[in-house]
Amino acid sequence: MKKKAVVAMLIMCMAVSAAACGKSSDTEKTTTETTDTKDSEDSEKDSTDTDTKETDSSGENRLVSVKDVSKYVTIGEYKGLELTRTSQPVTDDDVQAEINYNLEDNGSEVKDGTVENGDTVTINFTGTIDGKEFDGGSAEDYELVVGDGEMIDGFEDGIVGMKSGETKELDLTFPDDYYEESVADKAVVFKVTLQKFTRPAELTDEWVAENTEYKTVDEYRAAVKTQLEDTAVQTADYELYSDAWNEVQAASEIKDYPKEDVDAAKKSYQELNEKYVKDAGMEMADFLESQGMSEEDYESECQQYAESKVEQNLIVQGIMDAEGLSIDDEETQKLKDDLIKEYGFASIDEMIETYGEQEVNESLALLRVERFIVDNANVTEVAGDDADAVDEGYDLEEYDESMDIDTGDDTEDNVDTEDAAAEDATDEVAEE
């Protein structure tokens, strides 16, 4: 779980737009040679007092090509902020839910017998209203846990008792308050074919000893609770740092963007997108069409991304300059050590090889500044509600897939595009 927490923070300033490519990956080092521009007098002037984007005359790494960021940004107040750190309690239900997930993930296929609540089924289904199929009402190789309440009332109950290979029709009705008004309160027939199903492993001392590093159920349960508590702490910290940064950024005002930096960020972003598209075996034009984007839309998105990245770097660099901070100082070195340890890299060089030097430097600088802001803030500790355990930028379910104590199989599930498409196609029959 710690690995997930760390990488979530690491990629916070590296993540690319979901509309363009979906997730971050390996990037090439951005070329940042200072060049003269003819767009503004300021740009020409700045080119005379800067060496490169990555280092200044003292050899210090920098995030932007300009030395005087005040020409480009007015930084909001970043000291003495009133912040709240919300800690989420870990309940026995949380622990049991995590254990149940691990048991389900390590279940075994049932060749003979019938489906029971708690089984994970793989099904094909087709929904019809008045004898006609409707959008979002069909899927193949769809996986669900029976009894979780993912589907409309009666759907999962109808699967209970089915055998592998069996086909069954379910006569159901969409709720009158269903979020998709076109099918709300309408009778629907789902033709369901059960391909296979698995049953969760049974939680016993024997299973624990065979599949984890622990010997008894009690030891395992205690370990799960400890890791969930660690995750809750990391999540609270992440939210605090994120809130601190967002407040400072919102209070800051961009006057202008260094053209060199925007161009470099835009180029890097475009190259990354092109790599994703190529790896997917597509042409960029076909990809844009599949996303419903024109070339003009894409160009605008790239420009917005670049300006957003440069805005962040200007604010971060400005605070570091004002406070004498550096990505090469002792505190940042501790961050480097924590990152490579927690995320499983052998060295910072290996991390740079994966993400790119500029991206790692930007991430470390942001983390450094976030911690400085929090260290100089008035922080109030409060206990949060269980329902708020997942913040907008943190998906705690992701941790479940990489818990060190799961079962010895700590590889994350890889959902291919066909599976994802099938899941998307079921949105209208799954409960909102």
pLDDT (tens digit, 0 to 9) for every residue of the chain, 432 residues total?
Answer: 333 333 333 333 333 333 233 333 333 333 233 333 334 444 444 433 433 455 543 446 789 999 999 999 999 999 999 999 999 999 999 999 999 999 999 999 999 999 999 999 999 999 999 999 998 899 999 999 999 999 999 999 999 999 999 999 999 999 999 988 999 999 999 999 999 999 999 999 999 999 999 999 999 999 999 999 999 999 999 999 999 999 999 999 999 999 999 999 999 899 989 988 999 899 999 999 998 999 999 999 999 999 999 999 999 999 999 999 988 888 888 888 888 887 789 988 998 888 888 888 898 999 999 999 999 999 999 987 644 443 333 333 333 332 333 333 443 333 333 333 333 333 434 443
Q: Are residues 126 and 70 in the same domain?
A: no
* Structural domain contains residue 171: yes
Identify whether the C-beta of residue 403 lies closer than 8 Å to the C-beta of residue 102. yes
Same domain, 43 and 132: no
- Statement to judge: residues 47 and 141 lie in one domain: no
Domain with 171 in it: 108-199+414-424
CATH value at residue 172:
3.10.50.40
Do 367 and 66 touch, CB atoms closer than 8 A? Answer: no
- On whether the CB atoms of residues 156 and 185 are closer than 8 A, the answer is no
Residues 6+ apart with CB under 8 A from 94: 228, 386, 389
The torsion of the CA quartet 93, 392, 122, 174, rounded to 10 degrees, works out to 90
Same domain (yes/no): 57, 181: no
Q: Do 236 and 353 fall within a single domain?
A: yes
In a domain, 207, yes or no: no
Q: Any idea which residue has 């299973």 for tokens?
A: 207
Domain count of the chain? 2
62 vs 83: CA distance, rounded Å: 28
Q: Which helix H or strand E contains 249, and what residues bound it?
A: helix 217-251
Do 253 and 309 lie in one domain? The reply is yes
Answer yes or no: are the C-beta atoms of 176 and 185 closer than 8 Å.
yes
